[in-house]
Chains A and B, each alone.
Chain A
């Protein structure tokens, strides 16, 4: 009797891996979310099971196509229904999902759309265990991220990728912060860096955050706009934008200001960058150690084999 490899059935779509492959009327149906299917799409696979979800299966290849027969053996490989897609109308800014199939997989069948907005190609592949999850964890399903064609990377570390993305974001935030701070410092007419003290509104008696100074023999009072963000303590320094001047005469000027950001927030962002960098370095170091250890083990095994100690 021919050897049969038991497969675990999985459905891969973008960053999602679902257990099982759906069967309807004895076929794996092709039901794309975008594109048109008015033509013959191609048969993905047939099964003696008429309707339901196939979980563990044996896979047979015949001239007419692929047949999936349920079994109960422990899985040795994965049978993955890869649902590649380009989003259609209304979802164009979401990333497209495509897979570059390497020699580690065997493509068995596919079906695709051939018109309409967006498009999908579903491919049935036999792959090593962990393949689908590896592909899914590399896909970034975020608005405006851009389409991705993903290939299988056995040593891929999802945490490393996440950290790389995060550090890029935080560095970008730091650059923006520096740029805004520099621009505020240059533009003295509109922006000012201040600390405020608590005072009282002269008529209503309500608490207000204010800064009082004298300029050209005139008392200048800068008051934080009561309808906007307020400082939480007198120690905080803020970059503020000057707003409307409410009172101005020969001896007094009252101007509203809006708080923009605190210059010392830079330290917090910098600390976050350093923290992520440290974690990334740790991950890379352990990956290198693991890889060196594998090389050392192989070298030792080779040496022992040559010495006749190992077959």
Chain B
């Protein structure tokens, strides 16, 4: 599986590099953040190869590098937290085909009490979709099995409405 990163609501998914700038292998992925009112998870990465697979152990999830190129699922680190807003819901909404395997929390304020949200590592099946809220807008993400697509709620509604009418659904005025 390829591993992608969505660094915040509204950001395009980018392929995560498994080597540092110095050419050394990345040893782990950190999910969430440490501190009061927060949770941090560290997922180690072992082995060699261009792709990874997640393995569940008694001690937690580990990512094992290898050469698996027939995989249409993907791994993704999703940071669902946008800029500070007292009441905005910063989590993964309406998720379908999303299997969360590790999660952490990111929060605002010294004690983490004002507002916060989640950062997760998830496995996405082909056709998986979900949306994230940024401070003012919402953004739909879809993994097709080979690539990502992003839509605004209006674009998504327009597409679905048109498809429904083409299939003979709806009420004609």
Query: How many A-B contacts if CB must be within 8 Å?
Result: 78
Check A43/B158 contact, CB under 8 A, given A61-B173, A106-B173: yes
C-alpha gap A63/B171 in the complex (Å): 10
Query: Is B169 touching A62 in the complex (CB atoms < 8 A)?
Result: yes
Per-position 1/0 for A9-29, Cβ under 8 A of B? 000000000000000001100
Interface code B143-173, partner A: CB below 8 Å = 1, 0 otherwise? 0000000001111011111101110011111
Q: How far is the CB of B173 from chain A (nearest CB, A)?
A: 4
Contacts of B170 in A (CB 8 A): 60-62, 67
B161 touching A66 by the CB < 8 A rule? Answer: yes
Cβ contacts A36-65/B at 8 Å (1 or 0 each): 001111110011100000000011111111
Measured between beta carbons, the chain B residues less than 8 angstroms from A47 are 162
A96 to B134, CA, bound (A): 32
Assess whether A64 is in contact with B157, with CB atoms less than 8 Å apart: yes
In the complex, whether B87 has a CB less than 8 A from a CB of chain A is no
Kindly list chain B residues whose C-beta atoms are within 8 Å of the C-beta of A41. Answer: 154
The distance in angstroms between the C-alpha atoms of A42 and B155, with both chains bound, is 10
CA distance A62 to B170 in the complex (A): 4
Report A-chain residues with C-beta under 8 Å of the C-beta of B89: none
**Taking the complex as formed, is A83 at the interface, i.e. its CB lies under 8 A from any CB of chain B?**
no
**A46: shortest Cβ distance to chain B, in Å?**
3
B173:A65 contact, CB within 8 angstroms: no
A210-B31 Cα distance, complex, nearest whole Å: 97
Question: Roughly how many angstroms separate A74 CA and B107 CA in the complex, as a whole number?
Answer: 59
Range of interface residues on chain B? 20 to 34
The minimal Cβ–Cβ distance linking A30 to chain B, given in whole angstroms, is: 8
Cβ of A38: which chain B residues have Cβ within 8 Å of it? 136-137
* Residue A7 is within 8 A (CB to CB) of chain B in the complex: yes
Which residue of chain B has its CB nearest to the CB of A2? B172
**Shortest beta-carbon distance, A110 to chain B, in Å?**
12
Q: Contacts A39-B137, A42-B154 hold; do A64 and B164 have CB atoms under 8 A apart? A: yes
Residue B138 is within 8 A (CB to CB) of chain A in the complex? yes
Interface residues in chain A, defined as those with a beta carbon under 8 Å from any beta carbon in chain B: 2-5, 7, 26-27, 38-43, 46-48, 58-67, 69, 77, 106, 126
A-B contact pairs, 20 of them (CB 8 A): A2-B171, A7-B173, A27-B155, A38-B136, A39-B137, A40-B138, A40-B153, A43-B154, A43-B161, A46-B157, A46-B161, A46-B162, A48-B166, A60-B165, A60-B170, A63-B161, A63-B164, A65-B158, A66-B161, A67-B165
With A61-B170, A126-B173 known, 19 other A-B pairs at CB within 8 A are A3-B172, A4-B172, A4-B173, A5-B173, A42-B154, A46-B158, A46-B159, A46-B162, A47-B162, A59-B173, A60-B173, A61-B171, A61-B172, A61-B173, A64-B160, A65-B157, A65-B161, A67-B165, A106-B173
